[in-house]
């Protein structure tokens, strides 16, 4: 297990194009595999998670040329044309396991086992198995509702209307993808908006995607899917680490180019501004049907504490640990509530975020559905463990850059899941890693 030390710096500055969007790359590979033709994808994310998806679609007969280089070609086999391997390794990719289940229930053939690493084996999958079974699919989990999954295709699927109790783009997407194989309208009702990458990409591929208030639906059965050639924008969740680092140390500024600004992903911007951070958005042309722009962040002293409520959580679910770090540099108590979904991420991110902050000398407390941080305007420094969670590993590095004495980060190799070039990019804007 790799341990790195992130040392404090006086200033960060520079321009970055962070790696491409992980969510978009996953979906481009999967929907490309279902298309009637070869689909070109420029600038896909090359990471452990997306490599698992590329390998999965290839194992189902959809060859991927230029495996996660600057340009890949997915050779589609049609909506019902996949020929799945009987065992698919999802590694650490929960997005792959959940979305691909919604696709595999519409394929003809044998039972398929979807499995993953120890972290993925601890994540909840009953939340997709139950609605898919309600549609008539054969989907079963291990005892306790966790992986491995056993998915069988070929059974007739029923259209339905499903109400989510917790906003989840992955569960929503699994149901909508299965809805392509059902006869009629399949609807998903969300308690709060979540990222809509799947809906945008399905609509661009010729699928009839419908919206009605807080519900989104697809009309099936879908006979043909034609995903156009596309480029992948930069990932907001990866840019977020540099946004927070910049808010703490940018002089004169840190600039992040071509970032995906899907409104279901950018809740952190509102929270940062509420805390007093100086962040500017300069909109650019859409990429892959997604709103995009350049972000400019400047150092802000005197950050203010804030509260994050449940309705805000879906739009920043991956960035909430960073809110905890910002809160440590603010003055006063910051509370995050309605974030119980954090407990079933790559780690229990309520527990691991609080443990990481405490390891750096921060006063942080676990709540059942979130956490609270008593900000003192500074982080003393210390040591923390990533717990195998890529976002915690990167959080530790950002914390060290603005801390008093630096932070040792155990398990830094977890960054490979989503941001393999993170250390290089931190160094490019002036960060020092010993």
Q: Answer whether 432's CB lies under 8 Å from 9's CB.
A: yes
The residue to which tokens 């969300």 are assigned:
190
DSSP bridge partners of 432: 7
Q: Are strands 209-212 and 215-220 parallel, antiparallel or unpaired?
A: antiparallel
CA–CA dist 242, 190 (Å, integer): 31
Q: Answer whether 190's CB lies under 8 Å from 164's CB.
A: yes
Cα end-to-end span (Å), the chain: 16
Nearest to 307 by CA among 343, 332, 325: 332
70 noted as active-site residue: no
CA–CA dist 332, 231 (Å, integer): 43
3-class DSSP state of 391: helix
Q: Residues 49, 196, 235, 318: which is the catalytic one? A: 318
List b or e across 151-179, with b for residues whose CB sees 16 or more CB atoms inside 10 angstroms. bbbeeebebbebebebbbbbbbbbbbbbb
- Catalytic machinery residues: 318
């Amino acid at each position: 297990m790799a341990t790195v030390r992130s040392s404090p710096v006086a200033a960060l500055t520079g321009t970055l194009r962070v790696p491409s969007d992980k969510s978009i790359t996953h979906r481009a590979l999967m929907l490309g595999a279902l298309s009637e033709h070869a689909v070109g994808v420029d600038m896909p994310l090359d990471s452990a998670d997306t490599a698992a998806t590329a390998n999965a679609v290839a194992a189902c007969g959809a060859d991927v040329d230029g495996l996660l280089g600057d340009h890949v070609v997915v050779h589609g086999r049609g909506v019902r044309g996949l020929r799945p391997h009987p065992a698919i390794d999802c590694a650490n990719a929960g997005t792959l396991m959940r979305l691909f289940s919604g696709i595999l229930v519409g394929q003809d053939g044998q039972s398929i086992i979807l499995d993953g690493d120890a972290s993925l084996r601890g994540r909840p999958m009953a939340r997709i198995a139950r609605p898919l079974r309600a549609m008539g699919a054969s989907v079963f989990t291990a005892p306790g509702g966790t992986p491995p999954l056993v998915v069988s295709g070929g059974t007739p699927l029923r259209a339905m209307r499903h109400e989510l109790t917790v906003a989840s783009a992955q569960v929503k997407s699994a149901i909508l993808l299965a809805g392509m194989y059902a006869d009629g309208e399949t609807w998903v009702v969300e308690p709060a908006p979540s990222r809509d990458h799947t809906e945008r990409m399905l609509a661009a591929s010729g699928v009839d995607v419908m919206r009605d208030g807080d519900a989104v639906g697809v009309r099936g059965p879908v006979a043909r899917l034609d995903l156009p050639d596309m480029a992948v924008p930069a990932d907001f969740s990866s840019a977020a680490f540099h946004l927070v680092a910049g808010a703490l140390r940018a002089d004169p500024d840190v600039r992040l180019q071509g970032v995906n600004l899907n409104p279901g992903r950018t809740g952190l911007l509102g929270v940062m501004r509420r805390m007093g951070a100086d962040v500017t958005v300069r909109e650019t042309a859409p990429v892959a049907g997604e709103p995009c722009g350049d972000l400019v962040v400047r150092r802000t002293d005197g950050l203010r504490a804030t509260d994050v409520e449940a309705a805000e959580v879906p739009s920043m679910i991956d960035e909430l640990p960073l809110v905890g770090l910002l809160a440590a540099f603010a003055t006063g108590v910051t509370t995050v509530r309605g974030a119980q979904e954090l407990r079933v991420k790559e780690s229990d991110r309520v527990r691991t975020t609080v443990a990481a902050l405490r390891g750096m000398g921060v006063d942080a407390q676990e709540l059942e559905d979130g956490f609270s941080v008593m900000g003192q305007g500074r982080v003393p420094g210390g040591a923390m463990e990533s717990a195998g969670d890529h976002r915690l590993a990167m959080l530790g590095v950002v914390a060290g850059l603005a801390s008093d004495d630096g932070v040792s980060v155990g398990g830094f190799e977890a960054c490979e899941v989503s941001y393999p070039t993170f250390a290089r990019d931190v160094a490019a804007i002036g960060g020092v890693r010993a």
